[in-house]
Chain A
Amino acid sequence: MQLSGSEMIVKCLLEQNVDIIFGYPGGANLPLYDALYDAPIRHVLTVHEQGAAHAADGYARSSGKVGVCIATSGPGATNLVTGLATAFMDSSPVVAITGQVATTLFGQDSFQEVDVIGVTMPITKHNFLVKDISELAETVRKAFHIAGSGRPGPVLIDVPRDIMLARSEFTAAICTNGKIPAKERSAQPSFQDTVMAAVEVIHRAKQPVMLVGGGMKAGDTWKEVKKLAETLRIPVVSTLMGLGAFPAKHPCFLGLTGMHGHKTANWTVSEADVILAVGTRFSDRVTSDCSKYAIGKTIIHLDVDSTEVNKNIPAEIVVIGDLQRTLLAMNAAFLNRPTVDFSYWWERIASWQKDFFVKYNTNSLNAPWIMQHMSGNTLGQSVIWVTDVGQHQMWAAQHLQIDLPRNWISSGGLGTMGFGVPAAIGAQFACPDKRTVLVVGDGGFKMTGMELYTAINAELPIIIVIINNQALGLVRQLQREFCRQRYTESNLANFDFAGFAHICGALAATANTSAEFSSAFAQALQSERAFVIVANIAREDLVEPMVSPGQPINQFVR
């Protein structure tokens, strides 16, 4: 059948079961929008292309499916950049389709011409420039396959306007996952031998710990990790990206590890003799000083991406490949072994838990209490917790009780302020049966808060909790510790967030006390419209614990 390039793109999106895309029209992608006019795909018009990219990312993270965003050439495409970089750093499967000036205008510095392939090369898993209509359909199929397979990531397809308009023969395919030629791999030790070596090391360990990361989102990996932890009864700590992969209330779970990790979790890692790292890349936020992190420890590293092993932390045993498969094999191997007694190790851990127990006061409204209150009041409900970046994100990571890997959405690797509002919109679209609660700072909300208008237009019942300390809190905290309390540009003037929410059409409440917050949150849970709670907290509140920069992770500034 003869189709235009734009019609082919739509057909290919339907082949991939895409039912929603986030985007913004313009000159170069006008043909694509024309094809979308009567296509059975919902298009969500965001306020800004950055919002479209983050929304596609939020959609992908919460559903596990590929998120799709589209933008026009030039500024439309460059506005996607932060969103693509965010998805890239956190391995989120996103396909971005950008319009491009016609091939006849290439290289002429034409109106709205930007070399978006060059711009996005370092922040995408792969990108394509389509210069021949006969390659368009297969390129879209390949893009989806690349985005969603192996270690997921964003893929960009740049389609010139004349290719969108050109007509050619189109042959339908049903999710062929565009074939990628298999690569020749250097010989690796056999899978079973490596798994057995790992099992042997854990079996001999005295003080082992399991470190789980963002890779745990793949498939049902989390179930295998839970089984392994329960069989061995070994402590589990999580990176920011791994939260939710292990049930927060599980007795083996010690919480967040890293720069703002729980003290018990960090001490457990520091004192461990074996670290079983599952789907994590040992980022500097997790290890602090990587030269000291692994001293005296045996590292077992399981990951799907071979470039992540021995990059930051050298590992003795490496198993590359699908995590679920690796963990299944480990679980099977442990079945026939006698259990190991780690009671001495657990006694030590219990003593840290006792020493580091913190009780938060309820006299003044504070973020740790807010997180605990929200978790406590949504028990039994399926909630997707979304955060922006900053102090509120750390408080949320430390104090929310997250139960499933896809119920925690946060910008980790790139640390993108402004991620929260649009990502929450994408998540709510992906999971209409779950409640989406966004925790955001006053600084981050201002960056992309205009997307609240998108949420209202789409009638999304998202709950937005603005932790308002009238400051760029984490910047201010760093200035307090390391810049002699010279708060350059980190104190913000107050802003009427509730008034802004009302103007956008949302419901809003302001809370200055715990009682006011309880009441507002109860109202928000009942609301069928977007509900903004402005929680005013003290500017001086700090994220604790905090590891001293460049020091081992059990040495804290506070």
Chain B
Amino acid sequence: MKHTVQIVLQSKEEGIGRLVGVFRRRGYQIESLLMTMDQTEYMRIIVTVTCNQLALQQLLQHIDKLIDVVTVEVADDHVTSAEIYIPAHQSA
């Protein structure tokens, strides 16, 4: 099932790389990712992934374990992920 996860991260440059690294290392395919700096100190990230409930819970734990992560929650009900159409094969 497709899930939307909302993460509030301390806005250090390394933070986003560390977060994306968790998805890659634990075998989750990021389907969409939206990142906004909402305060000077924090950034909000909305990620969609497809996985089962158990895998989702594991993912949340792994994200929560990151020192930079302030909060992480499943936002399936109240956040619509932004889907922007970008042609896959744009000619140069």
Q: Which residues from chain A sit less than 8 Å from chain B, CB to CB?
A: 117-118, 121-122, 125-127, 129, 146, 180-181, 183-184, 305-307, 310-311
Instruction: Say whether B62 faces chain A, with CB atoms less than 8 Å apart.
Output: yes
Contact of A183 among B54, B57, B70 (CB under 8 A): B70
Show 8 residue pairs from A and B whose CB-CB distance is below 8 angstroms, ordered by the A residue: A118-B17, A127-B14, A129-B13, A183-B69, A307-B58, A307-B61, A310-B57, A311-B58
Q: Say yes or no: B67 contacts A184, CB within 8 Å.
A: no
Q: Does B65 lie within 8 Å of A307, measured CB to CB?
A: yes
Q: Tell me whether A307 and B62 are in contact in the complex, defined as CB-CB below 8 angstroms, given that A122-B21, A122-B25, A183-B70 are known contacts.
A: yes
Asked if B54 and A310 sit within 8 Å, CB to CB, the answer is: yes
Interface majority SS (helix, strand, loop, mixed), chain A: mixed
**Cα separation A307 to B61 with both chains bound (whole Å):** 5
Residues of A within 8 A of B62 (CB): 307
Known pairs A183-B64, A306-B65, A307-B62 / 9 extra A-B pairs, C-beta < 8 Å: A121-B21, A122-B21, A126-B66, A127-B14, A146-B67, A184-B71, A307-B65, A310-B57, A310-B58
- Render B1-38 as a binary contact track against A, CB cut-off 8 A, 1 for contact: 00000000000011001100100010000000000000
Residues in B neighbouring A127, C-beta threshold 8 A: 14
Q: Is the CB of B67 within 8 A of A180?
A: yes
Closest to A180 in B: B67
| CB-nearest residue of chain B to A309 | B61
Asked whether B61 lies within 8 Å of A121 as measured between CB atoms, the reply is no
- With A122-B21, A183-B64, A184-B71 known as contacts, the answer to whether A117 contacts B14 (CB < 8 A) is yes
User: Quick check: B14 and A181 within 8 Å, CB to CB?
Assistant: no
Q: B interface vs A, CB < 8 Å?
A: 13-14, 17-18, 21, 25, 54, 57-58, 61-62, 64-71
Residue of A nearest to B62 (CB): A307
Q: How distant is the Cα of A207 from the Cα of B85 in the complex, in angstroms?
A: 59
In the bound assembly, the distance between CA atoms of A307 and B64 in angstroms comes to: 9
**Chain B residues closer than 8 Å to A181, beta-carbon distance:** 70
Provide the bound-state CA to CA distance between A118 and B25, in Å.
Answer: 14
Contacting residues, chain A, for B21 (C-beta < 8 A): 121-122
- Residues of B within 8 Å of A125, CB to CB, are 67
Chain B binding surface, main DSSP class: helix
CB distance from A146 to the nearest CB of B (A): 6
Question: Roughly how many angstroms separate A118 CA and B16 CA in the complex, as a whole number?
Answer: 11
Minimum C-beta distance from A426 to chain B (A): 25
Query: A92 CA to B54 CA in the complex, in Å?
Result: 29
The listed residue (A121, A306, A310, A311) touching B14 by CB distance below 8 A is: A121
B25 CB contacts on chain A under 8 angstroms: 122
Q: How far is the CA of A395 from the CA of B14 in the complex (A)?
A: 43
Q: In whole angstroms, what is the CA distance A352 to B55 when docked?
A: 39
Q: B13 to chain A: which residues have CB within 8 Å?
A: 129
Shortest distance in angstroms between A134's beta carbon and chain B's nearest beta carbon?
15
**A95 CB to nearest chain B CB (Å):** 14
Q: Are B67 and A126 in contact, with the CB atoms below 8 A?
A: yes
A310 to B21, CA, bound (A): 21
Known contacts: A183-B69, A307-B65. The answer to whether A129 contacts B14 by CB under 8 A is yes
A154 vs chain B, min Cβ distance (A): 13
Chain A residues contacting B61 (CB-CB under 8 Å) are 306-307
Which are the 4 A-B pairs with shortest beta-carbon distances?
A: A126-B67, A307-B61, A306-B61, A307-B62
B70 touches A121 (CB 8 A): no
Bound together, the chains give a CA A326 to CA B57 distance in angstroms of 23
How far, in Å, is A501 (CB) from chain B's closest CB? 41
Chain B nearest CB, measured from A121 CB (Å)? 6
Q: Which residues of B contact A122 (CB under 8 A)?
A: 21, 25
With contacts A181-B70, A310-B58, A311-B58 taken as known, whether A305 is within 8 angstroms of B17 at the C-beta atoms is no
A117 to B17, CA, bound (A): 10
CA distance A310 to B56 in the complex (A): 12
Residues of A within 8 A of B69 (CB): 183
CB distance from A149 to the nearest CB of B (A): 11
| Interchain CA distance A118-B15 in the complex, whole Å | 11
B71–A183 touching, CB < 8 Å: yes
Chain A residues contacting B57 (CB-CB under 8 Å) are 310
Q: How far is the CB of B66 from chain A (nearest CB, A)?
A: 8
B18: chain A residues at CB < 8 Å are: 121
Contacts of A311 in B (CB 8 A): 58
Q: How far is the CB of A133 from chain B (nearest CB, A)?
A: 16
